[in-house]
Each structure stands twice: as structure tokens, then as C-alpha cells.
Structure 1
Amino acid sequence: MFRLLSSRFPLQSPLRPDPIPWLQETYLASFETRLLATLLLVALLPLGIRISDRVRRVFRRRYGKQLAEASSVLVLAGFIVAAVYVFGVIWQVTYLLRFTLEAMLIDRWLAAQQLITVAVIVTSYLVIRFVNRSIDKLSQTKALTKHQSEVAYHVADIGIVAFAGTVLLTLWGIDLTNIFLGAGAITAVVALTARETLTAMIAGFILLFSRPFAVGDWIEVNETTGIVTDVTIFTTQIQTFGDKHVLVPNDKVTNSPLTNYSKNDQLRVDVDVGIDYDADVEHARSTIVEGVEDLEEIKNAPNPQVIAKRFDDSSVVVECRVWIGGPTMRRKLDAQTAVIESIIDAFDHEGITIPYPQRAHSARDEQGFRVSGPNPDETELGTVSD
């Protein structure tokens, strides 16, 4: 076997340049020298590992963890390849290395395919890293929300991998027609069996681009009010003020009226007050304004407003409108409580009554009239006595 390989691959080859045969004949002619050189090569293996670790630490400080790991692997792989070659030189079996290379690289076209495949894979990896870092920078500048960043990661990675896979399949001569037909059939089956899931996913992309709210906003949707804690492609998670976590499908979010109380920097708080019918409504309105305008819980601009709202059973109802900044449920409740307490104090000071619900019964002033005809009781008694 060795003679056959030697005849096929002569000693003078690209793997054995001019100095190599001279070194083999001069210093590696005996078994003892070859064994000593092999032991020396094995002793140098820890040095290669240390060099690889050193490169990883240096690159990690300068370029990040991922590039450091890749550089460390490349250095270690290069060291191993070099060690294998030196071992072949020591024992004069470099023709085996050439035979292995010839088996791997059958012809130039196959070699080009292999090189292009490696280039496409490496390029795709670098593009994915670049896109992900760009998305991270955009999220740090608040240009993208957390939900948008996560979706952008997945969409970008899937798109790049799909494009690279299409290029590689085309390069290796694989017909994509059947693959696309099969993918279309699978997509149709999935669309029929998981309509609700696909609808929620599409709604998630709509929320991604329309951005009606962000994590931390106070919203009301589908009879659920609370703080948005997380948004995924399929659901929106809301923490209610009763400390309940509600998962709302994204298609319900897009198909229902949505109120975002955090969208503006202020919120109006309305408080209804009943005034006795005997009281001066204009005086009561001015009293309410004077009582609430200096509260710390509300904003000075816009100024508090009081309007007459409706006639009630026992009172004239007026509405006090005040505004708070940075809307939260706690600030709303604090402002509402402070307004009610201030109105009560102001009315007590001015002698204005807030009436209780009551109902008055009174008789008619006109004289009543008697209905003509026999008394049913008297008729019944007369019949019995007869």
C-alpha cells in the first residue's frame, strides 16, 4: 500500500519543499531521533493551547466575546494542522496528507464550491452579527422598543439564513422548485389548522410597526386596564391594578378600541359633585375652583374647570375637571382623593350643602271627589241579609 502511494505521490511534492528532505535525511534518519522529535512535538501542545487562550482574552477585551471565541478556535485549529504536518514530516508520511487532500479536493470545481460555501457561511454569520449590533444600538437610542428589537432579531436572522441557504442550494445544483412547492403546501396546511395563531402573529407585526404603546404604558383594551409588562409576537401581557396578569391575544388588541393613558404627558380627572337646589350654583362653582386650584397633586395649567352637568333627583350635579402630569393610576387616585377632600372643606366653610338622596311626599291642594254608585261592602251585606 505504501509503495502504491509512494509511486502515485512522489517524494518531491508541494508538501515536501527542498529543506524538508535534507532535514529528514540529516536529523530524522533513525527511529530514536524521530521518537525524540515526536515527544518534543507533544510537549509543545500545551504551548499552543496557552497561545490560543491568550488570543481569546486579547480579542475579548478589544472586539467582544464572539469574535474572541472565533479567533481562539482558528488559532487552535491552525496549531493542530501545523502539528499534524510536522508529525508527517518527522515520520516521512507526508504523502498521506497529500492523499487526504486529494480525496477532499476531487477537482477544481468541487474545491471552488467548497470555498464558496465556506465564504457564504462566514459572510452570513458576519452579516447577522452586524445587523444584531445595529439593532442593539437603535434600541439603546430608544428608536426601537424591546418588542421591536426582539422581532427584528428573529426576522433579520431568518431572512439572512434563508437567503444564504437559497444561494448554497443553487450552488450545489439542487432544484428549488420542489422545495418551494412543498413549502407552499405546508404553509397552506398550517394556515388552515392554525388560523388564530397566524392572525395573532400578523397582529403582532402590525403592533410592531404602528407602535400604539410600549412596555410600561398604562392602557385599556378589551375591558382590561393596566400596565403593559411584555409584548410578544402573539400576545400582550398586562398587569392590572388588581395585581392580575392578563394575556391578551394581539388580534384582540388590534380589533378592539385601545386607550393609551401614557401617550400624552397629562390626563384629565373628573369629579362629580351634587349641589342643593336652594344653593347658588355660580357661587358653588367658584368655591370649588378656589378650593382645588392650589393642590399639589394637580397641574396649574390647564386651570381647574367646573361645569354644570345635569339635574339629578336631589341635586344639581356639577363636574370638576383637573389635570395631572405623568399619568399613572396612583397619581390619578391621589388627585381624585385630594379634590374630593378639598371640595368638602370648601363647602363646609361656605355653608354649601351636598344633599342626601331624598323623596318628598305631598298631598294635592284640590278637593277630592266621591265616586257615585253603591258601596261593594254594603251590597254584599244586603245580599246576605236577604
Structure 2
Amino acid sequence: MSADTTGGHPPAALRTEWIIELQQSYFSATGVQLLATVVIGVLVILAMKFGRRLETLVDHRYGRNVGEASRVIWLLAVVATGVYSLSIVWHVTYFIDIVFRTLAIDRWTAVQQFMTIAIVLVAYLLIRFANRSIDQLQRTSSLTKHQSEVAYHVSDIGIALGTMTLVLTLWGVDLTNIFIGAGAITAIVGLAARETLAAVLAGFILLFSRPFRVGDWIEVKDHSGIVKDVTIFNTKIQTFSDEHVLVPNDIITESDLTNLSRNDQLRVEVEVGIDYETDVHYAREVVVEAVEDLDSIRSSPDPHVIAKRFADSSILLEVRVWIGEPTMRRRWNARTDAIEAIKDAFDREGITIPYPQRVQSARGDGFDVGVPSTDETTAVSVGNE
């Protein structure tokens, strides 16, 4: 076909004598060309599937990164071979010649291109290796889910920026102006999104300080609940009223934070008043005996009762008990069980829980508050008329 001669002559390595004979002998009819195209397509598909098996074999022997690299190289070779085979079948090897002429470069440019491809490939493998290392740390509970997400972004962005810097330096690009422009853009963005940047910075602070994890019960800024998720910008809390609250991370770092799940136990206080005529020491013993065997309360530390203060109508006792694996439901259950047990014990022992009352008494001799008689009332009424 004349198509071989248009656009220039292909290099001898691409169109040798035996390739010319092959084209003239077997690929001169359209039907044969179509059949050969189908065969090449099937072979390419089978070769791609073999690439997966090759990756698995290399992965088991040399590691996953090497396995992925081998599969990428194999796929590139398969695609190049398939394109070249189709160009032979359809007598268009001149197209490859045009591509080669277009890509004709000097040795230094070729080295730059080769180094650029190598740097990008190494950066890709580094990103995959870093992400797998983070996944491994998360599986061993060394990192939380939030920390893993932040670590993904930090490692990927860091590797990408480093790769970009190396490539630009390799091609002789002056990075001074780029850094100056980036600094100006950063200043503008910082002024326009101060709160967002503060939340992001607070997210990194939470990453390294680790004051709580997902599933912990915390109290912060008038909110109390279970941590459901932590992102770079905010923390999601599910309150005990089944409300989902998003608290910005900068609010968390600036406020007092209480983690009620960190120590795996929590003290619960219950106050009860006793009559002033009651023996305080005896009442304390009764309370301890009433709560020490409750299932909702831990046996260690032991329940403790103190005389807290003199109230208006009673002596106020404070009962201190502990619960394990703290949750709001366990605290409610422990408080309810303690109150019921103390009430039953006081009823058995005849200990009175007094109502608020006031005692009135006159100073010195006092004075009488008389009730007007009937005659005085009548006289007042006549006078008013």
C-alpha cells in the first residue's frame, strides 16, 4: 500500500525486510487485517490479566511496591507492543516514524525526561508505601482513625511538593518567584480564612496530643457526649439527647476538656440528708452497707461516705461510689441503684430524711399579736362610715 511511503520512511528497525514481506504476504487483504486486529486485542487482554498474576508473584517474593512497579512496566510494554503490531497489520508504521521525529531530542533533554519519569515513579511508590505503613499502624492501634486520615494528607502532600520541587529544579525553573508568589497567596488566604486555618491547626494539635479517641465520653464547651468522628476541621459528638454536635477543633483546644473515659472508671456522687438527731457515724455505716453489694458499682475502690456540711434542715452526707467503663447510662444506673438502696436501708433502720423546715422564736419577752374583738371591729366600721 502507498500508505507506507507517505509521511516519510520509517526507521529500519521499525520496518525491516521481513516485516515488509509479512505485510505483503499476509496483511494485504482487509479481512485478514480485521482478523489480526481481533487476535492482537485478545492477546493484549490476556497479557494484561497475566500482569496481575505477575504482580502477585513478585509481591510475595519482593514486596508489594516492587510488584506494582513490575505490573506497570509490563503494561507499558504490552501497550507498546500492541500499538506496534497494529501499525504493522494496517501498514501505518509511518505514524510511529512521525512520533519519533517529533520526539527527537538531544541527550540532556532525554536525561531530563528520563529523570522526571523516574522521580514521579519513585514518588508514587513512596506514597503507596507511606499509606500502607499508616494502615499498618492503625491496625496495631498505634494510630487512631483521625490520626490516620491526617497522616495520609500530610504524607501525600509532602511527597507531592517534594517531587514537584525536584522536577522544577531539574528543568532549570527558578523557584524564587514561585516561593514569593506562594507566600503572598498564603498571606491572603490566611487573612481571609483565619477561623478555618485555626481549626486546621487545632486538628494537627489534637493529632499529636491525642486527648481523646473516637468512642470516648468527653465534656467540652457545654456539650457532653460520645466522640463519633474527628476530622481536620471539627469533632462530631453525639449527646445523650441523641443530638449530633459539630464542635470546631479550635474551640476544643481553647476550652477545658474532660475525658471521662480515659481512666476506665468514674466516681459517682449521691447526696442524702439525715436528721440532726441521727447518729452520723451509724448513718454512714448504714449507707456503706446499702451500696457496697450493688452490681452497678465497682467493689474497688470501696464506697466512701463523708459528712459534707450542715444544711438548713439536715446534715448532708455525700456517698462516693465508682463505676467501670464509664458511660452516661452506667452513671444513671449507679445513681438510681444507690438512691433506692439508701432509701430502703434508712426505712429499715428508722433513719429519717428530713423535709425542709423553719423554727420561729421570739427575742426576749417578745410581743403579742392580738386579734381585735367584736366591739373594736364594730367601732372601726362605724367610724369609717
Common topology (TM > 0.5): yes
Q: What is residue 266 of structure 1 aligned with on the other side?
A: 265
Deviation at 1:233, TM superposition (A): 1.0
| 1:289 partnered with 2:288 | yes
Amino acid at match of 2:272: V
Percent identity between matched residues is 54
Higher mean C-alpha deviation, range 155-164 or range 242-251? 242-251
2:225–2:237 contact (8 Å) kept in structure 1 = yes
Q: Whole-Å Cα distance in 2 between the matches of residues 281 and 226 of structure 1?
A: 37
Q: What is residue 242 of structure 1 aligned with on the other side?
A: 241
Deviation at 1:30, TM superposition (A): 5.8
Deviation at 1:232, TM superposition (A): 1.0
1:52–1:73 contact (8 Å) kept in structure 2 = no
Q: What is residue 298 of structure 2 aligned with on the other side?
A: 299
Amino acid at match of 1:58: R
Deviation at 1:230, TM superposition (A): 1.0
Residue 332 of structure 2 aligns to a residue in which SS? Answer: helix
Q: Whole-Å Cα distance in 1 between the matches of residues 270 and 345 of structure 2?
A: 15
What are the within-5 Å matches in structure 2 for residues 142-161 of structure 1?
142-161=141-160
Higher mean C-alpha deviation, range 277-286 or range 35-44? 35-44
Cα deviation code 1:201-260 (max 9, x no counterpart)? 111111110000011100111121111111111111111111111111111111111110
1:48–1:79 contact (8 Å) kept in structure 2 = no
Out of 25, 49, 55, the residue aligned to residue 50 of structure 2 is: 55
What are the within-5 Å matches in structure 2 for residues 314-333 of structure 1?
314-333=313-332
Deviation at 1:45, TM superposition (A): 2.7
Deviation at 1:44, TM superposition (A): 1.1
Residue 228 of structure 2 aligns to a residue in which SS? Answer: strand
Q: What is residue 24 of structure 1 aligned with on the other side?
A: 20
Q: Whole-Å Cα distance in 1 between the matches of residues 178 and 223 of structure 2?
A: 45
Q: What is residue 377 of structure 2 aligned with on the other side?
A: none
**TM-score normalised over the length of structure 2:** 0.85
Give the length in aligned residue pairs.
365
| 1:187 partnered with 2:186 | yes
1:268–1:323 contact (8 Å) kept in structure 2 = yes
Q: What is residue 42 of structure 1 aligned with on the other side?
A: 37
2:51–2:75 contact (8 Å) kept in structure 1 = no
Counterparts in 2 of 1:261 and 1:148: CA distance versus 1, 3 Å: same
Amino acid at match of 1:310: R
Q: Whole-Å Cα distance in 2 between the matches of residues 88 and 340 of structure 1?
A: 89
Cα deviation code 1:40-71 (max 9, x no counterpart)? 42131332243145236536866599999987
**TM-score normalised over the length of structure 1:** 0.85
Unaligned residue ranges in structure 2 (runs of 5+)? 369-379
Q: Whole-Å Cα distance in 2 between the matches of residues 3 and 278 of structure 1?
A: 118
Cα deviation code 1:114-171 (max 9, x no counterpart)? 1111111111111100000000000011100111000000000000000001111111
Counterparts in 2 of 1:46 and 1:30: CA distance versus 1, 3 Å: closer
Q: Whole-Å Cα distance in 1 between the matches of residues 27 and 37 of structure 2?
A: 15
Cα deviation code 1:91-125 (max 9, x no counterpart)? 76645523421321322122112111111111111
Amino acid at match of 1:319: E
2:272–2:316 contact (8 Å) kept in structure 1 = yes
Q: What is residue 200 of structure 1 aligned with on the other side?
A: 199
Q: What is residue 346 of structure 1 aligned with on the other side?
A: 345
Residue 5 of structure 1 aligns to a residue in which SS? Answer: coil
Deviation at 1:79, TM superposition (A): 3.5
Amino acid at match of 1:162: L
Q: What is residue 373 of structure 1 aligned with on the other side?
A: none
Q: Whole-Å Cα distance in 1 between the matches of residues 26 and 52 of structure 2?
A: 40
Q: What is residue 5 of structure 1 aligned with on the other side?
A: 8
Deviation at 1:84, TM superposition (A): 3.4
Unaligned residue ranges in structure 1 (runs of 5+)? 370-380
Deviation at 1:29, TM superposition (A): 3.7
Q: What is residue 376 of structure 2 aligned with on the other side?
A: none
